Structure 1
Amino acid sequence: MPRRGGVKVRQVMPDPVTGSTVVTKIINKIMWDGKKSKAESIMYGALDIVEKTIGEPGVQVLEKAIQNITPILEVRPRRVGGAVYQIPIEVEPRRGLALAIRWIVDAARARTGKSMKENLAQEIIDGYRGTGTGIKKREDMHKMAEANRAFAHYRW
């Protein structure tokens, strides 16, 4: 991070197929070794599976799943008088979106037995329904913030 001035936020172009910037961000997160067309085929395949399974447009299901997974609170370490406290703070919308996308993609990669396309589709469906690994991570983060609520007065 720079000492002076802020970090300029780069604008992500909307996805040409769906018109959603969230889909573009997920494609970029899935991508390994610059293989963007492979990441795109995984994402679009997952959205097709989601549409067939749920019966609603895949992008709407994806956005609802991300909304369900996005955390509200997180804990950040703060050093006060030689001790390090975990201070609960509110999550900014950009960081919340980034965390939700990261959790969905990492959970899909951690699943075994099926293709990445099917795993990603299942994670999106689980997030939409309020179950799955992403929701569990969010709940764990909220529990930690609630447990450390006593240190909230150290926030500055």
Structure 2
Amino acid sequence: MAGGLLHCMDEAAFLQTHIDQHGFLSFLGLTVEDLEPGRLRLRVPYDEKLTNTGPGANGQVHGGVAATIADTAGGLAVRSTLDEPTQTGVATIDLNISYLRPAAGDLVCTANVVRTGSTVGVAEMTIESETPDGKLKEVAVGRGSFRIFD
């Protein structure tokens, strides 16, 4: 990615503005925590409106929230590797999520780009959740392929 650290900070602000103006991502309270070329960390704060309901749900975050944060982080991480990240679009081609355990706290997703080609980028994502004692524990892992549009 051209421009070094300053460019990355500018891109993080751009991404946060995009998220804040996006209805669904804004509803989730998604925030950019860290960004460097090929790596991105996002957070969704725990909120009861994002939990499963019914017997046995115990305040567990709905799996779709984990899939959404993984999809978003993967696509944005791929975008961070591009020469013109704020001018180039990406769209999900394929997304695979493996759920490991329930989440009942904030979700934090770290996406790492495996490869970015001329038309497709691939990223791996790890989703962690805060436990009551404040530690992060892995709750899901994923991998996504993203189409790159000029």
Tell me whether the two structures share a fold, i.e. TM-score over 0.5.
no
TM-score (norm 2): 0.30
Rg larger for: 1
TM-score (norm 1): 0.29
| Structure number with higher helix proportion | 1
